[in-house]
Amino acid sequence: MKKFLHLATVLLFLLASALQNAQASSITVGTADTGNCYPFMCNDSGTNVGPSIEYQQVYAASAFSGPVTITSETFYWRFAQEFGGSDTLLGGTYVFSLSTTSAPVNGLNSGCLSCNLGADNTVVDTVTIPSGGVSFGTSWTFTNTTNFNYNPANGNLLLDITVTNQDNVPNGSGNSYNDADDTGMATSRAYAFLGSNEGFADSIGLVTTLGTSTHGVTPEPSSLLLLGSGLVGLGGVLRRKLGH
């Protein structure tokens, strides 16, 4: 009897460990030392109709210890509160894409944003914020509807955000700013107002927390099925032993 109970305990421990290891984690890239209002808190396109901005940000592969599945992106309004202005996330439609890029930090091509995109570019989320915007609070998390598998051994990570029909709130008109890092060590940005042939690039990047799960840790369905089958089998043996 003790032998069977011991085996059952071992299987339960393995199942609990597998589920615990599958829990989400996160990676924060950048340290807040300045503010940046693009692409969420200001609109310099001159209109609230049609294309507004394409914003790109590259994250150094060295920020990641290994392959991960990216499940969300969180941005902040904490340090940047000292810049003043409203905490409003502007109304508009935001399309998020992730890809693996060969472009270096502080080396995004500002004249050809599409050239920065990797071959695995994937739309991970589309979010529509109502006209008039919403309160950002101290942080805002965009949860991906399609997760992205990223391997830092293949290059840096690129986030591309395309915004349309954004509230017409020019920079310096009472808008606020998100926390940003201007060291150019771990992240940097490039952007262009859609419809314009002129792009810009500099060392500033939004401080970003990427929600992740780790490749090879999430239990495979077959493994869970095997553990479950083992528990069922042990249950049957125990019932027979106990005469039930």
**pLDDT per residue as tens digits for the range 159-177:** 999 999 999 999 999 999 9
User: Is residue 9's pLDDT more than 50?
Assistant: no
**Do 12 and 67 sit in the same domain of this protein?**
no
Residue 201 and residue 110 in contact, taking contact as beta carbons nearer than 8 Å? yes
What is the tens place of the pLDDT at every residue in 109-158? 999 999 999 999 999 999 999 999 999 999 999 999 999 999 999 999 99
Dist CA 108 CA 199 (whole Å): 10
Dist CA 37 CA 175 (whole Å): 8
**Do 243 and 206 sit in the same domain of this protein?**
no
**Do 208 and 151 sit in the same domain of this protein?**
yes
Residue 233 confidence (pLDDT) = 52
**Do 64 and 12 sit in the same domain of this protein?**
no
Which of 33-37, 44-48, 102-106, 220-224 shows the lowest per-residue confidence on average (mean pLDDT)? 220-224
Largest CA-CA distance found in the chain, in angstroms, rounded: 81
**Do 57 and 32 sit in the same domain of this protein?**
yes
**Do 82 and 180 sit in the same domain of this protein?**
yes
Residue 144 and residue 24 in contact, taking contact as beta carbons nearer than 8 Å? no
Residue 224 confidence (pLDDT) = 43
Residue 13 confidence (pLDDT) = 42
Q: Which of 63-67, 197-201, 211-215 has the highest mean pLDDT?
A: 63-67
Residue 22 and residue 213 in contact, taking contact as beta carbons nearer than 8 Å? yes
Dist CA 172 CA 175 (whole Å): 6
- The closest alpha carbon to 145, from 74, 92, 96, belongs to 96
**Do 9 and 64 sit in the same domain of this protein?**
no
User: Is residue 24's pLDDT more than 50?
Assistant: yes
User: Is residue 236's pLDDT more than 90?
Assistant: no
- Structural domain harbouring 65: 24-216
- What's the number of domains the chain is made of? 2
**Do 67 and 179 sit in the same domain of this protein?**
yes
Give me the sign of the Cα torsion angle 175, 97, 112, 195.
negative
- What is the pLDDT of the chain when averaged over all its residues? 85
**Which residue reads 């991906």 in tokens?**
144
Question: Which long-range contacts link 152-155 to residues 24+ away (Cβ below 8 Å)?
Answer: 152/61, 152/62, 152/63, 152/64, 152/66, 152/67, 153/61, 153/67, 154/100, 155/61, 155/100, 155/101, 155/102, 155/118
Backbone angles phi, psi at 231, to 5 degrees: -65, -40
Can you tell me the mean pLDDT for 45-74?
97
Residue 162 confidence (pLDDT) = 98
User: Is residue 202's pLDDT more than 60?
Assistant: yes
**Do 5 and 33 sit in the same domain of this protein?**
no
- Residues 6 or more apart whose CB falls under 8 angstroms from that of 75 comprise 40, 139, 140, 178, 179, 206, 207, 208
Q: How many C-beta neighbours within 10 Å does residue 167 have?
A: 20
Which of 20-29, 166-175, 187-196 shows the lowest per-residue confidence on average (mean pLDDT)? 20-29
The amino acid sitting at 38 is Y
Can you tell me the mean pLDDT for 216-242?
46
* pLDDT band at residue 214 under the 50/70/90 scheme: confident
Q: Name the β-bridge partners of 69.
A: 149, 213
Segment holding 17, helix H or strand E: helix 2-21
Dist CA 197 CA 192 (whole Å): 8
Can you tell me the mean pLDDT for 17-38?
80
* pLDDT band at residue 244 under the 50/70/90 scheme: very low
**Do 179 and 228 sit in the same domain of this protein?**
no
* pLDDT band at residue 196 under the 50/70/90 scheme: confident
**Do 57 and 176 sit in the same domain of this protein?**
yes
**Do 11 and 124 sit in the same domain of this protein?**
no
Segment holding 164, helix H or strand E: strand 156-164
